[in-house]
Amino acid sequence: MEKKVDHSCTLDKIISLCKRRGFVYQASEIYGGQAGAWDYGPLGVEFKRNIQNAWWHYMTQLHDDVVGLDSAIFQHHKTWEASGHVAHFSDPMIDCTECKARFRADQLIEDFVRKNPDKDPGKPVDTMTHEEMKAFIDANINCPTCGSTNRKYTAVREFNLMFKTHQGPIADDAHLIYLRPETCQGIFTDFKNIVQSNRMKIPFGVAQVGKSFRNEIIFKNFIFRTCEFEQMEMEYFCKPGTDDEIFQNWRKDRWNFYLKYGIAEKNLNWHHHDKLAHYAKDAYDIQYNFPIGFEEIEGIHNRTDFDLSQHTKVSGKDMSYMDQDDGNKNYTPYVIETSAGLNRNFLAFLCEAYEEENVGGEGSEDYRTVLHLHPQLAPVTVAVLPLMKKDGMAEKAQEIRTALKEEYVTDYDQSGNVGKRYRRQDEIGTPYCITVDYDTITKDSPNFDTVTVRFRDSMAQERVKISELSGFLHNAIRNYKPVQR
């Protein structure tokens, strides 16, 4: 019997496409790879930057009350005492004593329950005590690494996720330094500077994008969970009492960001936290329907006045705000945080865009792999293709590419038949291909000085005057509608 080919999106297909087309490579691959670290290749770096730019545009340019910051990765070590990360930023881990494999106890249980829904622990995993987790694992879960059914595990204990080192040659407590596990603490420590230098009035937000580092116990699912990753965070400072409404508004706003850039609503989900982080009064995650199931891409937290109050206490510097619009009342602002993972956004937008589409027509099969990326996120916006290399078509195509370069990320491809070249561009998500043919260069043709613009999603083609190309593309991008699947 003929084996049916699976045309769904899987993580393995995404990983393979990422490597094949230069989106993402395993870091230090020639040495066997560095666990939990990935390099972003020529197309990956463009795509990641486009997501970051879209986020920045959405959060700062479209919100008059949000300004930007780029704070240092290294902050004074007391920052992390104040924030509670030294004491509380840990995950529960458990080891198999037979093969020494180490697991995150909560994830071990979650993975098991996902595969065995009838064996539910009876309460959310994030509310289980260490003893409850250990009892459940002992009773149910064979070691996923060595397969031992003896279930000889250590006790569950906490493992702090911060990387630490020392600055300079002296390795004592005074020189202790942490790699930041979240970008936002720099926003809190700079709160007074921002208010004073930019005359900011509450409510206002501060947006920041940058690297964060976590000594994760396990890495899995490609770039989903890594030790080094980028966060796109925004801290919105507001008057206590207004925080609940602002929290709900930001939830809506952040949801709309994903819709705007092409994620179908059915692939998004809200997860309300049962157990809150040490700083939060309320928290929701936006989850995306990855091929591995619904998982978090962004957290939205009501951090109350926790961080500013803690920094006041530990630094001895007053971090309160005098509200001139409210009778000079003095208070410590509350903070609503939106914290998105850039790398997880990258993976979510890729998975959402991926399609193996049958373009063979009625009764026949001819599959193309296409990424339906939003044109503002696609790594290449326009590819210029001469129908053939000869008779001046290549030169004309290069001329058009040069003219478009200033405004768009362009590609040029003259190798192989044009159908294959379209497919190559489809696979990396290029929304528009421009083809230069004989009509383009034949003076007495009615189509002289025109090209065809081919649309990735519909594969439709339209003849456009070369002189009008730039505006045509501008309108096409502006009016782009994500494909409904």
Stretch that binds ligand GAP, among 41-49, 51-59, 65-73, 296-304 (CB under 6 A): 296-304
Distance CA 259, CA 359 (A): 26
Stretch that binds ligand GAP, among 49-57, 64-72, 294-302, 444-452 (CB under 6 A): 294-302
Please pick, from the candidates 121, 299, 333, 379, the single residue that binds ligand GAP as defined by CB under 6 A: 299
Q: Pick the closer one to ligand GAP by CB: 125 or 143.
A: 125
Q: Pick the closer one to ligand GAP by CB: 224 or 422.
A: 224
C-beta of 317: minimal distance to ligand GAP in Å? 22
Decide: is 184 part of the binding site for ligand GAP (CB under 6 A): yes
Going residue by residue from 313 to 352, which x/- string records binding to ligand GAP, judged by CB under 6 A? ------------------------x-xxx-xx--------
Decide: is 205 part of the binding site for ligand GAP (CB under 6 A): no
Q: What angle do CA 38, 13, 293 make, to 5 degrees?
A: 85
Distance CA 33, CA 267 (A): 32
Tokens matching residue 245: 């409404």
Tokens matching residue 253: 């706003």
Going residue by residue from 220 to 259, which x/- string records binding to ligand GAP, judged by CB under 6 A? -----xx--x-x-x--------------------------
Please pick, from the candidates 182, 352, 413, 437, the single residue that binds ligand GAP as defined by CB under 6 A: 182
Question: CB of 449 within 8 A of CB of 467?
Answer: yes
Cβ neighbors of 28 (< 8 A, separation 6 or more) are: 34, 37
Decide: is 297 part of the binding site for ligand GAP (CB under 6 A): yes
Cβ neighbors of 459 (< 8 A, separation 6 or more) are: 359, 422
Stretch that binds ligand GAP, among 39-47, 259-267, 291-299, 359-367 (CB under 6 A): 291-299
User: How many chain residues bind ligand GAP (CB under 6 A)?
Assistant: 19
Tokens matching residue 334: 């509350």
3-state secondary structure of 222: coil
Decide: is 307 part of the binding site for ligand GAP (CB under 6 A): no
Please report the DSSP string for 207-255 in residue order: EEEEEEE---S---TTTTS-SEEEEEEEEEEE-TTSHHHHHHHHHHHHH
C-beta of 303: minimal distance to ligand GAP in Å? 8
Going residue by residue from 66 to 105, which x/- string records binding to ligand GAP, judged by CB under 6 A? ----------------------------------------
Cα radius of gyration rounded to whole Å, the chain: 26
3-state secondary structure of 206: strand
Half-sphere exposure of 418 (CA within 13 A, CB side): 18
CA 481 to chain centre: 21
C-beta of 229: minimal distance to ligand GAP in Å? 4
Burial of 422: CB neighbours in 10 Å, binned 0-12, 13-18, 19+: buried
Q: What angle do CA 221, 111, 132 make, to 5 degrees?
A: 135
What length does the chain have?
A: 485
Q: Pick the closer one to ligand GAP by CB: 214 or 454.
A: 214
Q: Pick the closer one to ligand GAP by CB: 54 or 382.
A: 54
Q: Pick the closer one to ligand GAP by CB: 107 or 148.
A: 107
- DSSP H or E segment with residue 439: helix 438-441
Residue of minimal CB distance from ligand GAP? 341
- DSSP H or E segment with residue 91: strand 90-95
Q: Pick the closer one to ligand GAP by CB: 105 or 184.
A: 184
C-beta of 224: minimal distance to ligand GAP in Å? 6
Distance CA 322, CA 315 (A): 19
Q: Pick the closer one to ligand GAP by CB: 95 or 337.
A: 337
Which parts of this chain interact with ligand GAP (CB under 6 A)? 182, 184, 214, 216, 225-226, 229, 231, 233, 296-299, 337, 339-341, 343-344
